Chains A and B, each alone.
Chain A
């Protein structure tokens, strides 16, 4: 409904510009033609075509000697075009030159109308983005659960079965009184004890990988523990006056842990800085190292996974890692997921 009047207006302006411009520019030729064709003063108020079809003009064109080309338009007035040649020529030239821009301006309104009608609405874009990040979040969480089951099965469960076997053997030895059996039983109990201690330590690491208890005290404390445990010296800068939501703290903690591990394992750096700043509405975690640079997110890589996880809460991951270093990775998260 909107397009038709707009199109007509566009056409009228464009055609008008070109035609009028051309007319004004070539006016001298017209004038010469008119005075030769109509040597004597003539009034033209009708235009007739071959075949006898005549149109009455809304005014008239007079030619008169010395030189006059009077154009009268009913209701507006009369102008003598011959007198205004000097003005008309540059005006015509200007109109012709300006014609492209004027045309573009009018059709510009048309173009923006098309874009609004045919392009995707921003709400649909948002929904699509949310669906993608949700699918990734669901896959991520299923993969984490499988990982936990495998860690428990291969780690803790295996250690406990081995423990039970040793103690079962020890029980048998202890039910007799032969000295060789007593010695063997002592050895078995010793081994079992060592195995139990190892299992406890491994389970503690496992649990920390699921949820570190220190995080309950807040991100600053948790990051301090991370920094202390890191293989490289870590300078920690935190400014977290208010705590973000628990889910955001967890994502921030594991992001920092992964980035510190990357720096220690891959960058060849000697020094790492970990910053955590919480301003109203935004939590920023930044890990910078003085290593070799060249960090890139690769498909199925850690940085890609990190970026996906950050995106599920509408966060952002920014990597600056030119070859030769230094590397700066910034994670921005909203205060509440």
Chain B
């Protein structure tokens, strides 16, 4: 895959490039600010971009705003945002823009090489990859706390993993249960939340989060 990196700390930029190269991806551009990111995406048309939320000159949400612009102008480019802190509001903004092809990870998560490369693969394929901490934030922000109260503990776990954008197989592995058990949980969840069942991974995420009021 062809990937653009946008991160202002040089050591992290180099580390990300190293991991992606190790997986056989091609880093077509590695930039340090939002302006250079938009230019690089326009020029190189990558499959995905890994973008830090905070970048010069203001160090607030330059990366986020650039990401929203890119999703509008180049819908085929998947975007994996990452940030030192969980900003639930930013995740909500990103999801609101358009379904699919979006991810939001904590920088800590990047240290787990397998998770990071998995996330970027999902995002490039048009799926979703939300950090568990971000999901907790979004679920807590939900207004439908009573509906969540109707779920069993196991259904809660499945719901959280679903909201991260994981496939049924991944959920089954994570919870050490069979694929059929996961499917059963999911259909229970959808009926308790009053949602129609859905096959595509990112449509499930969005259905859940839309219901939960993001």
- CB contacts (< 8 Å) of B107 on chain A: these are 157, 161
A-B pairs with beta carbons under 8 A, tally: 48
B69 within 8 Å of A (CB atoms) = no
Query: Bound complex: CA of A167 vs CA of B18, how far in Å?
Result: 12
Contact B15 A165 (CB under 8 A): yes
Tell which of B16, B59, B84 touches A165, judged by Cβ atoms closer than 8 Å.
Answer: B16
Tell which of B11, B84, B110, B113 touches A159, judged by Cβ atoms closer than 8 Å.
Answer: B11
Contacts A153-B84, A157-B84 known; A165 to B111 CB distance under 8 Å?
A: yes
Tell which of A153, A161, A162, A169 touches B113, judged by Cβ atoms closer than 8 Å.
Answer: A169
Instruction: Give residues of chain B (1-35) contacting chain A, Cβ–Cβ below 8 Å.
Output: 8-9, 11-12, 14-16, 18-19, 22
Closest CB of chain A to B202's CB: distance in Å? 27
> CB-defined interface of A144-178 with B at 8 Å, one 1/0 digit per residue?
00000010011001110110111111011000000
Contacts A153-B84, A169-B18, A195-B11 known; A161 to B59 CB distance under 8 Å?
A: no
Tell me which of A165, A167, A168 has the highest count of chain B C-beta atoms within 10 A of its own C-beta.
Answer: A165
Provide the main secondary structure of the chain A interface.
Answer: helix
Chain A residue at minimum C-beta to C-beta distance from B11: A162
Provide the main secondary structure of the chain B interface.
Answer: helix
State which size class the interface on A falls in. Answer: 10 to 19
Contacts A154-B9, A161-B108, A162-B15 known; A169 to B84 CB distance under 8 Å?
A: no
Closest CB of chain B to A164's CB: distance in Å? 3
Chain A residue at minimum C-beta to C-beta distance from B16: A165
Tell which of B8, B14, B59, B112 touches A162, judged by Cβ atoms closer than 8 Å.
Answer: B14
Query: Bound complex: CA of A158 vs CA of B111, how far in Å?
Result: 11
Tell which of A153, A161, A172 touches B15, judged by Cβ atoms closer than 8 Å.
Answer: A161
Contact B113 A158 (CB under 8 A): no
- List 4 other contacts, CB 8 Å, given A165-B12, A168-B19: A158-B11, A161-B110, A162-B11, A165-B113
Residues on B facing A (Cβ under 8 Å): 8-9, 11-12, 14-16, 18-19, 22, 59, 84, 107-108, 110-114
Question: Can you list 6 residue pairs at the A/B interface with Cβ under 8 Å?
Answer: A159-B11, A165-B12, A165-B15, A165-B16, A165-B111, A166-B18
